[in-house]
Amino acid sequence: MQTADNMTMLEKIAEHMMFGIYFDLSRYVIAAGVMAIFLFVFKRWADNRRIQERRASGKDYRRELLSSTRTVFFFAVTTISTLMLREAGIIKFKLDEFSTLTLVIQVAAMILVHDAYFYWLHRAMHHPRLFRATHLHHHKSRTPTPWTAYSFSMWEAILEVAFVPLFLLATSLMGIAYAGMAILFFIWIQLARNVMQHAGVELHPAGWVDSKWTDWISTTTHHDMHHSTGTYNFGFYFTFWDRLMGTEHPDYKKRFREVAKPIVITRSFAERFSISVLAILAVGSSIGQFASGVAA
């Protein structure tokens, strides 16, 4: 027979689980969906900037969507673990009383540490003894799409999402209470970059790799070449680690220059852009209203 305390804990876990699934699924659908709509609306521009001649098949899309639902489940479980560890006082983060400078520094710190975490985890998953069990499923998407962003095996999903609770555990042990808003910003930046890296179309402007101000930031071509070759470009946000460890593809910049054609603003392009922005705002407004209703 269950006690009232046990029932309360079970109810709390169920509530956190539902929130985690809703949160992770909605942000994934928003980010990948907005990118898919953008590429559809500006099809001519996107086709002109395609990185690979090969295109994803219907089978690729079905596999990515199905495995993404599995990823959402494991991401939700990790959300529960983070919230429960916070309630137990093991992980510390605050929801208010933080300055803008603190927010910027904490988000930047998470991004820098995550970039290192991702690079070395990625390299490890490419080891012959780990690749089949962890990373092979993701590499079935040889031609990435926005929906590749969450197309992981069970083990890769767990390893990828483990970063947030591990990072917060480390900072908490150092006596640093992270701002809840910083964690939220990081999560959205990470997902946006993930979708951009798998767009299959070069989204960065021409000249990006030739400027000292932007060359250190990874591009869609950088990660796309990893999917097509499997042996280079393991980084995520930046090119630091690949260049330091000698794992950047020797033809990366050459390939980027070939696909990153200058954007020409025409009347048709401007009209489609305005329509797509209005559509995205409408979808965002609808989701916001739905979220408010759920919260109420």
pLDDT for 7-38, tens place per residue? 566 666 666 667 777 778 888 999 999 999 99
| Beta carbons of 156 and 135 less than 8 angstroms apart | yes
Burial (CB < 10 A; 0-12, 13-18, 19+), residue 198, is: buried
Q: What is the pLDDT at residue 13?
A: 64
pLDDT tens sequence across 119-165: 999 999 999 999 999 999 999 999 999 999 999 999 999 999 999 99
Tokens of 209: 């790799």
User: What is the average pLDDT across 162-176?
Assistant: 91
Tokens of 115: 């970039």
**Residue 291: band (very low, low, confident or very high) from pLDDT cuts 50, 70, 90:** very low
pLDDT above 90: percentage of residues in the chain: 61
Q: What is the pLDDT at residue 4?
A: 46
**Residue 265: band (very low, low, confident or very high) from pLDDT cuts 50, 70, 90:** low
CB contact burial 125-148 (16+ within 10 A = b; e otherwise) = bbeeeeeeebbebbbebebbbbbb
Q: At what angle do helices 180-197 and 100-125 cross, to 10 degrees?
A: 40
**Structural element, H or E, at residue 36:** helix 4-41
Tokens of 187: 């999560």
pLDDT tens sequence across 153-168: 999 999 999 999 999 9
Tokens of 169: 């555990």
Alpha-carbon distance of 24 to 294, in angstroms, equals 15
Range scoring the smallest mean pLDDT among 17-31, 40-54, 96-110, 166-180:
17-31
Alpha-carbon distance of 135 to 289, in angstroms, equals 37
Q: What is the pLDDT at residue 84?
A: 77
**Residue 180: band (very low, low, confident or very high) from pLDDT cuts 50, 70, 90:** confident
Q: What is the pLDDT at residue 51?
A: 95
Q: What is the pLDDT at residue 272?
A: 58
Q: How far is CA 184 from CA 140, 142, 162, 289, in A?
A: 30, 30, 15, 19
Alpha-carbon distance of 87 to 111, in angstroms, equals 25
The mean predicted confidence, pLDDT, of the chain is: 85
Q: Is the pLDDT of residue 94 over 90?
A: no
**Structural element, H or E, at residue 287:** helix 267-295
Q: What is the pLDDT at residue 292?
A: 45
Residue predicted with more confidence, 98 or 153: 153
